[in-house]
Amino acid sequence: MLGTGLIGFFYTMALHGQRSRDRVSCVYSRNADRAHAFAKKWNIDHTATDMAEAIHHSSSDIVVIGLPNHLHEKAIQLCIEANKAVLCTKPLARTAEEAKRILDAVEASGIFAGYLEDLVYTPKTLKALDSVRQGALGEILWTRSREAHSGPHSSWFWDVDQAGGGAIIDLGCHCIEIIRNFIGKDIRPLEVSCWADTLVHPIDAEDNGIAMIRFENGAVGQFEVSWTFRGGMDLRDEVGGTQGTIWLNHFLRTGFEMFSSGAGGYVAEKAEQESGWLFPVGDEVHELGYTDMFTDMFNAMDEGREPRETFYDGYVVNAVIDACYRSVRSRKWEPVKLQDWRGRTDVERVGKLKEMVDGMELVKRECLPDGKIKLILKNLDTGEVTQRLLAGNND
């Protein structure tokens, strides 16, 4: 485990959870005291203050990277040199160029690699994706993903050089991969229109952003990210298809509401208060997807297949983020530049209704308050749009 910060803590909690036999065998921190304290808390046998030593340690067969963004490439390079499997947290890199270098190096080396994008593994998301795959929503036209909280917990996040950006790279990377999963990871993201601004915090990076991503089949992804949202962590997704809709709320108001007049300690990540009405999360590492994510990663290794989330996915996410930042600067739609596209190239446009009524194309059917059914119809020869009430009451 590289890193003893917030994500190192959550990953270890997930890996050591329940009756799991998976174990963190060695933990790396620059600071020996922090490494020892972490090892004591989680009952880990070995510590290291040198990153290469932890990676090469004989007890380490898989390396989990929980370090700031600017250290991902260095850590992955060391894993390649040590010929160790590597699982890297999000975002894979700070730019698509850096991500592509990582991807190429890892693929050339042949080591196993997985992209730790937990939010596509939440139990709700896995079920929702299954329903989408089974056609419950018809064709997916639109996906909205929102992640917002009051800002990150460590200084490096606020530094553009180390993080690669602000709220967009930090939170938008989750949203983009959620959107890709629902719209189809094989559908190419073509272009992006993005707004961002620094509304509150005294930083160079953006603390708010909104983007629209247009996919080759006409579907649209929309994300909203904020480091200035007050009231906890807001994680919501909405999926719209030709035949159905899904709304997901992963964190606040998920069915667990508690009132406390005193300080009861930690409530949930980024919760801003310990008293009043609170929205705790039952099993945070499970509900945020960490448990299912590691299960998929390790099963993939055992089965000799790729995990659901790969470094290639991380590269595509970085390419979309790059286009977001270009669009913020140009104030125009900007192309998503993917040197390496592995998805489909033969896509049809989504969403065309093809139902015909008496030689006319059905535009819309609606049941009115008086119980009558109204049809809106288009004459394909003239283009004229007319309406008809069923049961012979044309008007």
Ligand X SMILES: NC(=O)c1ccc[n+]([C@@H]2O[C@H](COP(=O)([O-])OP(=O)(O)OC[C@H]3O[C@@H](n4cnc5c(N)ncnc54)[C@H](O)[C@@H]3O)[C@@H](O)[C@H]2O)c1
Using CB under 6 A as the binding criterion, the count of chain residues that bind ligand X stands at: 20
113 versus 116: smaller Cβ distance to ligand X: 116
CB of 226 to ligand X, least distance (A): 16
Residue 6 within binding range of ligand X, rule CB under 6 A: yes
**Residue 177: what residue type?**
E
**CA within 13 Å, CB half, 17:** 17
Residue 193 within binding range of ligand X, rule CB under 6 A: no
Which DSSP letter does residue 304 get?
T
Query: What's the CA gap between 21 and 259, in Å, rounded?
Result: 37
CB of 19 to ligand X, least distance (A): 24
Q: Interface with ligand X by CB under 6 A: which range of 6-14, 209-217, 313-321, 384-392?
A: 6-14
Find the largest Cα–Cα distance for the chain: 83
Strands 140-148, 220-226: parallel, antiparallel or unpaired by DSSP? parallel
Residue 89 within binding range of ligand X, rule CB under 6 A: yes
48 versus 116: smaller Cβ distance to ligand X: 116
Residue with tokens 């499997």: 85
Residue with tokens 């983007």: 211
By CB under 6 A, the residues from 282 to 321 that bind ligand X are none
> Is 307 in a helix, a strand, or coil?
coil
Query: What's the CA gap between 284 and 145, in Å, rounded?
Result: 19
CB of 120 to ligand X, least distance (A): 11
Residue 90 within binding range of ligand X, rule CB under 6 A: yes
Residue 7 within binding range of ligand X, rule CB under 6 A: yes
Residue 164 within binding range of ligand X, rule CB under 6 A: no
Residue 5 within binding range of ligand X, rule CB under 6 A: yes
In the chain, which ranges are continuous DSSP H helix?
A: 6-15, 32-42, 51-56, 72-82, 96-109, 123-133, 160-163, 167, 173-183, 284-287, 290-303, 311-330
> Is 376 in a helix, a strand, or coil?
strand
70 versus 326: smaller Cβ distance to ligand X: 70
Closest CA to 221 of 116, 143, 132, 280: 143
Q: Tell me the two tokens of residue 262.
A: 């005193």
29 versus 143: smaller Cβ distance to ligand X: 29
CB of 264 to ligand X, least distance (A): 23
Select from 20, 154, 330, 386 the one that contacts ligand X (CB under 6 A): 154
By CB under 6 A, the residues from 109 to 138 that bind ligand X are 116, 118
Q: Interface with ligand X by CB under 6 A: which range of 66-74, 255-263, 364-372, 384-392?
A: 66-74
Residue 181 within binding range of ligand X, rule CB under 6 A: no
Cα–Cα distances (Å) from 108 to 89, 112, 115, 157, in that order, read: 21, 11, 17, 31
Select from 22, 30, 59, 81 the one that contacts ligand X (CB under 6 A): 30
Select from 14, 67, 93, 103 the one that contacts ligand X (CB under 6 A): 67
Select from 4, 193, 318, 327 the one that contacts ligand X (CB under 6 A): 4
Strands 276-278, 258-260: parallel, antiparallel or unpaired by DSSP? antiparallel
Q: Interface with ligand X by CB under 6 A: which range of 152-160, 305-313, 357-365, 370-378?
A: 152-160
Q: Tell me the two tokens of residue 190.
A: 């073509």
Residue 306 CB neighbour total at 10 angstroms: 14
Residue 29 within binding range of ligand X, rule CB under 6 A: yes
CB of 136 to ligand X, least distance (A): 27
Residue 3 within binding range of ligand X, rule CB under 6 A: yes
CB of 147 to ligand X, least distance (A): 10
Which DSSP letter does residue 110 get?
T
Closest CA to 185 of 107, 131, 123, 120: 120
- Report which residue's Cβ sits closest to ligand X: 5
**Residue 278: what residue type?**
L
Interface ranges with ligand X (CB under 6 A): 3-8, 29-30, 66-69, 71, 89-90, 116, 118, 153-154, 156
